[in-house]
Chain A
Amino acid sequence: SYDLTQPLSVSVALGQTANITCGGNKIGSKDVHWYQQKPGQAPALVIYRDTNRPSGIPERFSGSNSGNTATLTISRAQPGDEADYYCQVWDGSVIFGGGTKLSVL
């Protein structure tokens, strides 16, 4: 089965840039989607097909995908960005990463 590896936690200083990685074998050949989940809420899509932002998602959120790593980048991090972030791919089945807790210090 296909595995996606995310760091358990990432910390970023207020106003700085956070990078959340999602590792998988040749993940660059797959479409990667990213979700944000705040406490007590359902997940919400923030990036789809590697680099695309749904309407309403700030430009501060961006994505990239190459080789064995996909990355969600959050620029000018704000307290409201504190959340769990999950990556997702399709590999004959939908696979989710284990999630990364982002803390804004």
Chain B
Amino acid sequence: QLVESGGGLVQPGRSLRLSCTASGFAFGNHAMSWVRQTPGKKLEWVGYIRNKGYGGPIEYAASVKGRFTISRDDSKNIAYLHMNSLKTEDTAIYYCTRDSGTTGPGASDIWGQGTLVTVSS
């Protein structure tokens, strides 16, 4: 399973770090993705990180590239989403997912319960 944490209320322009703790599967063998869901229920992809075995660049959506950074600590079974320069339009539920794609994003076959990020002054 996947459990996200770190969400909350943050002012525009500030930063926040989300964590995703995995259990029940070999975390290091799998790619991971972050997906968010806006208040209007629209699903938006945030980014994707491959497992270490495949290497390659971390992929980001254009709307967050340069502001958000995805990383992983396989020794702790945790994936991270570092969010800088937050905007009101980043307000959403953020989901961590296990991604079945290896060389690029595929289907998200396991989802966390989500953590709510609200960007507001």
CA distance A86 to B97 in the complex (A): 15
> Do A48 and B43 have beta carbons less than 8 Å apart?
no
CA distance A93 to B94 in the complex (A): 18
B43, B95, B101, B105 — most chain A CB neighbours (10 Å): B43
A102 CB, min distance to chain B CBs, angstroms: 14
> Do B113 and A42 have beta carbons less than 8 Å apart?
yes
Partner of A49, one of B41, B59, B107: B107
Residues on the A chain within 8 Å of B43, using CB: 35, 43, 86, 88, 96, 99
- What's the A-B contact tally at a CB cutoff of 8 Å? 55
> Do B62 and A93 have beta carbons less than 8 Å apart?
yes
Residues on the A chain within 8 Å of B105, using CB: 90, 94
> Do B42 and A96 have beta carbons less than 8 Å apart?
yes
Residues on the B chain within 8 Å of A49, using CB: 106-107
Please tell me the size bucket of the interface on B.
20 to 34
Residues on the A chain within 8 Å of B113, using CB: 42
> Do B95 and A31 have beta carbons less than 8 Å apart?
no
Contact residues, A10-49 vs B (CB, 8 A): 31, 33, 35, 42-45, 48-49
Contact with B along A78-105 (1 / 0, CB 8 A): 0000001010101001111011000000
> Do B62 and A45 have beta carbons less than 8 Å apart?
no
Partner of B45, one of A31, A45, A48, A93: A93
Residues on the A chain within 8 Å of B108, using CB: 33, 35, 43, 45
A20 CB, min distance to chain B CBs, angstroms: 15
> Do A45 and B109 have beta carbons less than 8 Å apart?
yes
B59 CB, min distance to chain A CBs, angstroms: 8
Contact residues, B96-113 vs A (CB, 8 A): 100-101, 104-109, 111-113
CA distance A79 to B48 in the complex (A): 34
User: Which residues of A approach B to under 8 Å, CB–CB?
Assistant: 31, 33, 35, 42-45, 48-49, 54, 84, 86, 88, 90, 93-96, 98-99
User: Which residues of B approach A to under 8 Å, CB–CB?
Assistant: 33, 35, 41-45, 48, 59, 61-62, 95, 100-101, 104-109, 111-114
